[in-house]
Amino acid sequence: MSDDSIREILIAGGGTAGWMAAAALSVAFKPHQCRIVLVESEEIGTIGVGEATIPPIQLFNKILGVDEREFVAATQGSFKLGIEFVGWLREGERYFHPFGRYGDDFGLAPFHQHWRRARTLGSGIPLDAYSLNHQAAYRGKFEIPRPGSAGVFSTFSWAYHFDASLYARYLRSLAESRGVERIEGRIAEVVLGPENGFVERLILADGRALAADLFIDCTGFRGLITEALDTGYEDWTHWLPCDRALAVPCTRVADPVPYTRSTARQAGWQWRIPLQNRTGNGHVYCSGAISDDDACAVLMANLDGAPEADPRQLRFTTGRRRRAWNRNCIALGLASGFLEPLESTSIHLIQTGISKLLAWFPDRNFDPLVAQEYNRLVDAEMESIRDFLVLHYHANEREEPFWRQCRDMPIPDTLAEKMAMFRANGRLIERQHELFHPPSWLAVLLGQGVHPATHDPLADTVAPQELAAILGGMQHVIDQTAGSMPAHQQFIDRNCRAAARIPIPLASRDLEP
Ligand SMILES: Cc1cc2nc3c(=O)[nH]c(=O)nc-3n(C[C@H](O)[C@H](O)[C@H](O)COP(=O)(O)OP(=O)(O)OC[C@H]3O[C@@H](n4cnc5c(N)ncnc54)[C@H](O)[C@@H]3O)c2cc1C
């Protein structure tokens, strides 16, 4: 290690962001190389939501050396194959955003172009029939592919639902076992250096002072250090107008389905996240379009089971800090900004923030070019997720004033280009650093009623009979594979059942058509 190496990292905040950062940094640095300290306040607590994830979290777990089954059991977790969107296009409609791909590319055009052409030739088979994730999800099935499983599993992917507080506890035990030191205390003051304005130390309410070379701000929406650095915030409410949420857990009334449900409501949407021991619910809404009381009534009238607590309100402003990395402080999690939870991307952004930090790890000279590159990458990723979320709101045919306003709002140019290209001939623009790949865009574009006028002419190079045979074969394999998987609950019971689960009679299982 050089003399300029970072010797001490101070993580402020012990929610999901703080403990993810602590756990990952403890893998990267041994205690004798770099001291890692996390300060958190039990009195303040954590936000307590953030229970649905996306597949790249598997990679994070691998890096931490987490055993998947042990982790699911420890967090009352379940498996997630995608998100069902109910009523987003209009009342009575639903579609599924599956993780994983549709079919397999062949010939000279992507799979969906062949599917689109087959429709013009008279095929009535929906795109969903070519998604193993979709077929398994709606049959309530799940399994982790074994090594050597059939090739169709290369199109299959999964993530998790878990209890947010158990997840933070799980990460904490991992991080502490690897030498991370935890300090209990409330940060009262951020002291900046008089010459360069860098963070020098944090002062706790009891007077203790905590100094470090590098500070990681994981203090949630407060963004304590980031605010002290006068970082500024870019407000995206004009594109993502929801600014409040009410969250409430309810009892489990059926076996957990392997997907999240998002149901459009008059001025926002409601989530349902099935865990082993309970169901997480929340109503995300726009305070300018519905009162808190009415939003609460909508949520409570649409629970599957009995509420297990009073609903908790959360307020937020969608957008991002102007610089995620400012001087010697990097903001992660809610401290760095917030894109609403529609596609479960916040925990993922913590993960990629940590991996970018490791890729661009500074020394004590804090070259501004390093921070600049980090911020450029973070910005590009957030903007692509923002566009994806805006698509869900913008392309709707609902009648309520809130939804009409979303339909009429100006959208980012980058999104407008993608939609125009897709409408012309089904081609999907994929930019660098995009989290969501073409199959995700395809699912949401079609689900939100954006249809191509025609298909890619290169799809015409396959003879109609051959096309029918290839598509028929793929559909058959997917159907058989999904059908032969165990039920999601059965898989959990055999592999990762959490302690103290109350058994549910089989007759009340909640399987979708
Ligand atoms: C309604 C809603 C739904 C969401 N759903 C999802 C989802 O499904 N999937 C997903 O990926 N993400 C979701 N998120 C985002 C997710 O909750 C967060 O990204 C994640 O929980 C990380 O939060 P955090 O650690 O940044 O903040 P917090 O959990 O708020 O933690 C902040 C920490 O800082 C500490 N702290 C604050 N001030 C001080 C102080 N003065 N002194 C000492 N300590 C302090 C607190 O005690 C706490 O430990 C959702 C967010 C909202 C608002």
Pocket of ligand 1 (CB under 6 A): 13-18, 39-41, 44-47, 49-53, 164, 186-187, 218-220, 222, 224, 245, 247, 282, 314, 316, 333-335, 341, 344, 346-347
- Cα-to-centroid distance, 40 and ligand 1 (Å): 12
Whether pLDDT at 510 is above 70: no
pLDDT tier, 274 (very low <50, low <70, confident <90, very high otherwise):
very high
pLDDT tier, 511 (very low <50, low <70, confident <90, very high otherwise):
very low
458 burial via Cβ count (<10 Å: 0-12, 13-18, 19+): middle
Atom from ligand 1 closest to the CA of residue 188: 41
> What is the residue with the minimal CA distance to atom 53 of ligand 1?
314
pTM exceeds 0.85 for this model: yes
What the block records as the tokens of 480 is 């058989």
How high is the pLDDT of residue 400?
Answer: 98
Q: Which of 353, 332, 379, 386 is nearest to 221 (CA)?
A: 332
The answer to whether 80 is a known catalytic residue is yes
Say which DSSP state 32 is in: T
Mutate which of 19, 215, 219 to test ligand 1's pocket (most atoms within 8 Å of Cβ)? 219
Other beta carbons within 10 angstroms of residue 418's beta carbon come to 24
Cβ density class 281-292: b for 16+ within 10 Å, e for less: bbbbbbeebbee
How high is the pLDDT of residue 501?
Answer: 53
Whether pLDDT at 502 is above 70: no
- Cα-to-centroid distance, 299 and ligand 1 (Å): 22
pLDDT digits 0-9 by tens, 153-188: 999 999 999 999 999 999 999 999 999 999 999 999
Atom from ligand 1 closest to the CA of residue 316: 53
Atom from ligand 1 closest to the CA of residue 13: 34
pLDDT digits 0-9 by tens, 123-144: 999 999 999 999 999 999 999 9
Name every residue whose Cβ is closer than 8 Å to that of residue 367 and which is 6 or more positions away in sequence. none
pLDDT digits 0-9 by tens, 195-216: 999 999 999 999 999 999 999 9
Name every residue whose Cβ is closer than 8 Å to that of residue 182 and which is 6 or more positions away in sequence. 14, 37, 38, 39, 40, 172, 176
Mean pLDDT of 256-273: 98
Mutate which of 47, 244, 343, 351 to test ligand 1's pocket (most atoms within 8 Å of Cβ)? 47
Return residue ranges of the chain for CATH 3.50.50.60.
8-77+163-235+318-369
Mean pLDDT of 403-408: 98
Mean pLDDT of 387-406: 98
Please provide the DSSP assignment of 389-429 as one string: HHHHHHS----SHHHHHHHHS---HHHHHHHHHHHHHS---
Domain 8-77+163-235+318-369 has CATH 3.40.50.300: no
pLDDT digits 0-9 by tens, 310-366: 999 999 999 999 999 999 999 999 999 999 999 999 999 999 999 999 999 999 999
How high is the pLDDT of residue 271?
Answer: 98
Distance CA 219, CA 216 (A): 9
Q: Which of 30, 62, 80, 418 is catalytic?
A: 80
Atom from ligand 1 closest to the CA of residue 187: 42
Q: 3-class SS at 228? A: helix
Whether pLDDT at 389 is above 50: yes
Mutate which of 39, 42, 44, 224 to test ligand 1's pocket (most atoms within 8 Å of Cβ)? 44
pLDDT tier, 285 (very low <50, low <70, confident <90, very high otherwise):
very high
pLDDT digits 0-9 by tens, 408-425: 999 999 999 999 999 999
pLDDT tier, 505 (very low <50, low <70, confident <90, very high otherwise):
very low
pLDDT digits 0-9 by tens, 25-72: 999 999 999 999 999 999 999 999 999 999 999 999 999 999 999 999
Whether pLDDT at 252 is above 90: yes
Whether pLDDT at 147 is above 90: no
